[in-house]
Amino acid sequence: MKQIRMIRRTLALVAAVAMMGALSGCNLISLNSFVLKEARVLSFDLSKGAKVEMTIENRSPFKVTVVGGRLVANIVGEPIGEVYMQNPVVLPRRSTATVVVDVGMHFSSPLAALKALGILKSSPDKLTISGYGEGKIWCFTKRYERHDVPISKFITIFGEPSKYLK
């Protein structure tokens, strides 16, 4: 049960960071324009994916559409699984919105998720994240990419996870 809760919290964090990464990639706005207030998993199924609810404050003067994102988990450079956004979400300008993101997932093997949790507990520096997010303002689309970021640094991109993970 504890491992399932950890998987759910990690998934909420990954989905939130993928989406926020997409937002920060646009040259018209900065990462500081967005504040992740809360992220929580509404439903979770390893074979089907998850629904993650996020409350995000958009401080920018622009309506932003997050059109896509994909993150790949790697253990010592070998990909073990990925999560990806299945639906675009819209964040109205200068407001706080609660959005639901459908998150798909694929693992290289049925035990890959459990292997990642074991590595996360024993030697987290072996687990890295690579991926991208895409944000759109008006007709401008920007892809923001990260490569081989250690999970310990990745999860703190938006501050202390315990402040927004529910």
Q: How many domains is the chain built from?
A: 1
Interatomic CA distance for residues 119 and 26, integer angstroms: 33
* 25 part of a folded domain: yes
* Residues 23-35 pLDDT 10s: 555 556 666 788 8
In the chain, DSSP assigns E strands to: 34-45, 49-58, 64-75, 78-85, 89-91, 95-107, 127-137, 140-150
pTM of the full structure = 0.73
Residue-level pLDDT at 63: 92
Residues spanned by the domain of 10: 2-160
* 165 part of a folded domain: no
* 166 part of a folded domain: no
* 23 part of a folded domain: yes
> Is the model's pLDDT at 158 over the cut of 90?
no
Task: Label residue 16 by pLDDT band (50, 70, 90).
Answer: low
* 98 part of a folded domain: yes
Q: Which residue has the higher pLDDT, 86 or 120?
A: 86
* 14 part of a folded domain: yes
Interatomic CA distance for residues 96 and 119, integer angstroms: 36
